[in-house]
Amino acid sequence: MNRYEGRRVLVTGGGSGIGQATVLRVLAEGGRVVAADISEAGLADTVDKAGEAASRLGTVTVDVADEASVRAAVAGAVSTLGGLDALVNAAGILRSSHTHETSLESFNRVLQVNLVGTFLVIREAIPALLEGTEPAVVNFSSTSATFAHPYMAGYAASKGGIQSMTHALAAEYSKRGLRFTAVQPGSVSSGMTDASGASGQSAGPGLPEDADMSLFAKLSPALGQGFAAPETVASVVAMLASEDGRFITGTEIRVDGGTHY
């Protein structure tokens, strides 16, 4: 299946986790990709895993929370690809703590990377996307945007903002042919959830030592298969950003194994 043959894609957070899995999936389907990440080591790992497909893979370092960095990275990606047909905003961080012990700096950092970072990349990419073929943007929300995930108020707020922003953008650009969708991963093993990712923008959750784990009783996948691999979400992202998703916009798709019925 070569849904991405001739298609040009920018993936942020491409150095680990679901972002990396998405890069590899698009490459496997014949696409040309620029992987963007704050971690050079993470990007090197992605290139290594791409194997022979690395000839269709470019990389760029970016701090999505920094406006100048985003502007330069998106411009570089568009130049490398010769245009842009799809954007996947997978870059993000997760911080966990008791809310009454959360510093304003920590709360703002999560919002700045996740919500503001997604906005900045989209803003800079829109001009190129409007000139692309079947253009599409896939943002990363989370099941925490809709369902209670304890100790993650800032993360939930950022992902809820991304979800609402996705709807607004879908309406604004619908008549110009640019689609916006979001995925809501849940119960997925990635750099965020297991703290093993190479990317500095995919740090582990670090739950409080005295966290009440009984509060997570409702967060187990109903399918009974345990946490899913990043590739599970990447396959959904690949569909949404391809022509197969051409009649889908202004909505989110939950990928959580039935954790939240």
pLDDT of 55 reads 98
Q: What is the pLDDT of residues 179-222, one digit of tens each?
A: 999 999 987 876 555 543 333 343 345 789 899 988 887 777 76
Pair 35, 46: CB distance under 8 Å? yes
Active site residues per annotation: 155
Return the residue matching tokens 């997760």: 94
Residue 120 has pLDDT above 50, yes or no: yes
Burial bucket for residue 157 (CB in 10 Å: 0-12, 13-18, 19+) = middle
Rounded Cα gap, residues 132 and 8, in angstroms: 9
pLDDT of 107 reads 97
Looking from the CA of 253 toward its CB, the CA atoms found within 13 Å total 19
pLDDT of 254 reads 95
What would the two tokens of residue 219 be? 């967060």
Rounded Cα gap, residues 95 and 228, in angstroms: 21
pLDDT of 222 reads 67
Pair 221, 255: CB distance under 8 Å? no
Sort residue 134 into left (φ over 0), alpha (ψ -120 to 50) or beta.
Answer: left
Q: What is the pLDDT of residues 68-99, one digit of tens each?
A: 999 999 999 999 999 999 999 999 999 999 99
Answer CATH for 8-255 from 3.40.50.300, 3.40.50.1970, 3.40.50.720, 3.40.50.10800 = 3.40.50.720
pLDDT of 172 reads 98
Domain extents in the chain: 8-255
Q: What is the mean pLDDT of residues 236-244?
A: 98
